[in-house]
Amino acid sequence: MPTIHLEYFAILRDQTGRAAESRHTSAPTLAALYDELGEHYRFTLPRNRVRVAVDAAFASWDHTPADGETIVFIPPVSGG
């Protein structure tokens, strides 16, 4: 089972109560991973309002998490 590194920002950091964590996952896609974590941490943001990045590049929700990847879910941005 791959080990992935997760970093959390903004509202997702508040809801997980942590800035980062490593997890073993069998999620077949990033979408499934978000849903799994959302259930665990009770995320309030639906997936259609979130983007996802793998190793500091935007990625597709269909991507299969691989060992050693850094995965970041991107809540709606609010710079400026």
DSSP conformational letter for 17: T
Contact between 2 and other proteins by CB under 8 A: the answer reads no
Tell me if 2 sits within 8 A of 65, measured CB to CB: yes
Contact segment (CB under 8 A) with other proteins among 25-33, 34-42, 61-69, 72-80 equals 72-80
CA 80 – CA 72 distance, rounded (Å): 21
Per-residue mark of binding to other proteins, 47-66 (x: CB under 8 A): ------x--xxx--------
Q: Is 49 helix (H, G, I), strand (E, B) or coil?
A: helix
Among 7, 35, 36, 69, binds other proteins (CB under 8 A): 7
The verdict on 76 binding other proteins (CB under 8 A) reads: yes
